[in-house]
Structure 1
Amino acid sequence: MADTVPAKPHFPALDALRGVAALLVVAFHLLEVHATSHLDQLINHGYLAVDFFFLLSGFVIGYAYDERWNQMSLGEFCRRRLVRLQPMVVLGMLIGALAFYGQMNPQWPLIAQTSVGKLVLVTVLGCLLLPVPPALDVRGWQETFPLNGPGWSLFFEYVANLLYAVVVRRFSRRALAVLVAVAAAALLHLTLTSPNGDVVGGWSLEPVQLRIGFTRVMFPFFGGLLLFRTVRPGRIPYGLLWSALLLVTLLALPRIGSAGQPWQNGLYEAGSILIGFPLVVYLGISHAQASATVQRASRVLGELSYPLYMAHFPFVHLYFAWVHTHGLTLPQSAPVAAGVWLGTVALAYACLKLYDEPVRAWLSQRVLRLARPVSKAPGV
């Protein structure tokens, strides 16, 4: 059916910011291999990119879908989200399964003890985005998605999408503001009381980790939705540049405070999520004018971001295994780390063009039955 609703204006800066965050995530995970603790980790707050992705998703979901519910059913919304997200979930899990036995090293003895049948079962669960219970642990970290760690954030992304579609989309601004305020309080409590003074966690089926996961998604996602509903873009010269610089600074800043005072770092992380990331998005959408070159570069960064996020982690595990098997330091392995970083970017582009885009186009015709396309919003 043809869509008679005109497309909304596009925000190239949001594409660019998503790409910048994804590139930093890959670098963070590679450097994390060499960290001995939270205190000496390079790109120290790179894990907060997940919280930024949640906020950006909330903004974009509101932008793309808020005004379409008189034309769209809950089922259609769910199908659209599955078509957009699930193909790379499946491919990421398959890559993780293929790389699994190559990740054997002294720190992960469970890999060698994992049968092919168990690996197949964990792979099937991962492709369906069903959390793996601790009884099926294959690595030793009790991850919900041990073949491709970032799957945990997609699980909570789906949860937030369902909450939005079933309940929260009907909220008035005031009701949504109350929900966001409660979620902000929960987030602040988590960061100030966490033993490590951070929001790290959310990837295991046990009460503490589940609480962290839900706390991490609730404020950013619905805060992003509230941001969309209440804030209108300004006209800020070089808004994209300022937003990217602020994002990089927030993610790369060294650990705040000492091991004996973890609340100081927790306060920093709460400030980054509650204030810093909304400001990043506002600066981005307020970018005064994007040249054709900037728009093209932003589009490429945005298109690469999701395949890069979902495909890179198995190769980080391979790098981890190589480093720890041979006892290498960062200076010794830096060329390989750089090669993995560049290689995952190239792989993400190949996944995008050879798999993700063709599969989504095929599914759009069959699963959506040529249903009305949503507005061209970043990441939707």
Structure 2
Amino acid sequence: MTERQVRFDALDSWRGIAALLVALFHFQAAGNFYIVPLVRHGNLAVPFFFVLSGFVITHAYRAKLDERGAGIRFMVRRFGRLYPLHFVTLMVLVGLEFAKLIAVQHGFSGSEGPFQNTNSVPSLIANLFLLQAVIPFPDLSWNAASWSISTEFYTYLVFLAVYSAAGARHRILGCVIAFILSGLFLLYLEVSYPTLNIASGMGMAQCVFGFFAGNLTYELYLRLYNRPALQGTWPELLATVMMVLLFWFKPRFISFDILAFSVIILLFAYEGGAVARGLRNRVMLRLGELSYSIYLCHFIIFSLMFVAVRVLQGKLGIALIERVNGIDVMDFGPHWLMDLVALGYLAVLLVCAVMTYRWIEVPGRRYFNRLAGGRGKGPAIVGAEPRQA
């Protein structure tokens, strides 16, 4: 197949669906949504994002990285895609910590003091440099979802280093070696250190392996493009069933999930069947477009809602939040009421995502694309940023 500029619309829609699953995964409200395995395993969307990122980044840049200065332009553009919204959401959380500090000075107290534990000053510095999941930390910090943004950015550097070191003639071999080594390392961590925190090394291993799995999936996509058996409704139905089963049962090893996601992405990339056509409607495409904002904003929205419920709980003197298996869960009504609360949360989140996409994501991306010396929009790629749990 001759490479051409393509938008993988069905994959972009899947990205939006996955972002909503992550948002619901983090929103603890004791309704029907909360107990559905697809939601309880919603954090599995992050390895999917890693593989999708490797796929679309390879599509957008594999033919461009031979140009003079291409590596610097690549990193500037990727920084501009990730950092502006990350910085803004981080500053919102810093502002909330200052508000907490003022409240403490006026006699109010909470379960955690300002600028302590997960919101410490050292972890803030790490977040500013996108190092919060690259250097070891005991837990996720500040905007917890941003850990995957941290690993994503430095995985771009690994990808660029492999491409540069291997040279144009041996890049596929270099990526195969990176894929094998990172996969073996991830499997070793999963077997030997199953409780290792994603902020302490597991997350970076997942990201590198997932990215190179996506990279090689794209190379396979190019070579199988003229195979009609892969380009119809039945392969897409198979991929959909695989996706549902993965989220429903969540196999133990993320390395297995990453390989399965590679197959799913390959089968949907051709977009020749009825399922892909269904995913290319305006609503689903808009959801995919907003997925990065959904991913980075959801932690702030549900955190504010939990704070409001805690305050109300203290004022009323009745239990509105229950401790279930070590997790705080909002529970102040029947399941249907809690489901309405969850839907309200999603509605607020989508409104915020529209605003941050329009006023932060797009202007930030255009600014850094201009710095990189390209056109305002940059390469037409989708799914390039993982949104993590």
TM range (shorter): 0.7 to 0.9
Cα 1:147–1:294 change in 2 (3 A) is same
Q: Pick from 357, 365, 384: which aligns with 1:360? A: 365
CA distance in structure 2 between the aligned counterparts of 1:321 and 1:195, rounded to whole angstroms: 32
| Contact kept in structure 2, 1:94 and 1:123, CA below 8 Å | no
**What's the CA shift string for 1:164-218, capped at 9, x where partnerless?**
112245353334223322322333333344546xxx7322xxxxx22x1232112
The residue aligned with 1:201 is: 197
Structure 1 residues 132 and 214, CA, compared in 2 at 3 Å: closer, same or farther? closer
Residues 206-238 of structure 1: CA distance to partner in whole angstroms, max 9, x if unpaired? xxx22x123211211111111112333431226
Offset at 1:371? Answer: 5.4
Point out the more displaced range, 342-351 or 39-48.
39-48
Contact 2:25–2:42 under 8 Å retained in 1: yes
Report the AA paired with residue 378 of structure 1. V
Instruction: Tell me whether 1:230 sits opposite 2:197 in the alignment.
Output: no
Report the CA distance shift for 1:7/1:246 in structure 2 as closer, same or farther (over 3 A): same
RMSD of aligned C-alpha atoms? 3.8
Instruction: Answer yes or no: is 1:153 the counterpart of 2:148.
Output: yes
Match of 1:188 in 2: 187
Q: C-alpha offsets along residues 328-349 of structure 1, whole Å, 9 cap, x if unaligned? A: 4273644322211221122111
Deviation at 1:10, TM superposition (A): 2.0
| Residue in structure 2 matched with residue 260 of structure 1 by the alignment | none
Moved more, 86-95 or 55-64: 86-95
Aligned to 2:262: 278
Amino acid at match of 2:204: F
Corresponding position of 2:352: 347
Checking the alignment, whether the CA contact within 8 Å between 1:90 and 1:128 is kept in structure 2 is: no
TM-score scaled by length of structure 2: 0.74
Question: How do 1:166-315 residues align onto structure 2 when only pairs under 5 Å count?
Answer: 166-168=161-163, 170=166, 171-195=170-194, 201-203=197-199, 209-210=200-201, 212-231=202-221, 232-233=224-225, 234-237=230-233, 243-251=239-247, 253-254=248-249, 265-267=251-253, 269-274=254-259, 276-288=260-272, 291=277, 294=280, 296-315=282-301
Amino acid at match of 2:262: P
Provide structure 1 residue ranges, at least 5 long, that are not aligned to the other structure.
Answer: 136-140, 204-208, 256-264
Contact 1:238 1:288 in 2 (8 A): no
**Shift of residue 242, structure 1, vs aligned partner:** 5.2
**283-292 vs 70-79, which deviates more?**
283-292
Contact kept, 8 Å, 2:53 with 2:214, in 1: the verdict is yes
TM-score by length of 1: 0.75
Q: How does 1:58-137 map to 2 (within 5 A)?
A: 58-73=54-69, 74-100=71-97, 109-110=111-112, 112-114=113-115, 126-131=127-132
Question: Which segments of 5 or more consecutive residues in structure 2 lack a partner in the other structure?
Answer: 104-108, 314-319, 322-329, 385-389
CA distance in 1, matches of 2:302, 2:350: 13
Judge conservation of contact 1:22–1:305 (CA < 8 Å) in 2: yes
Residues in 1 aligned to 2:115 and 2:63: alpha-carbon distance in whole angstroms:
49
Percentage of pairs with the same residue: 24
How many aligned residue pairs are there? Answer: 340
Q: 1:32-61, CA deviations, whole angstroms, 9 ceiling, x for partnerless residues?
A: x669xxx99772322121111111111111
Q: Distance in 2 between matches of 1:67 and 1:374?
A: 14
Alpha-carbon distance between aligned partners in 2 of 1:134 and 1:292, rounded to the nearest angstrom: 42
Q: 1:131 to 1:164 in 2, by over 3 A?
A: same
Find the counterpart in structure 2 of residue 262 from structure 1: none
SS class of match (1:312): helix
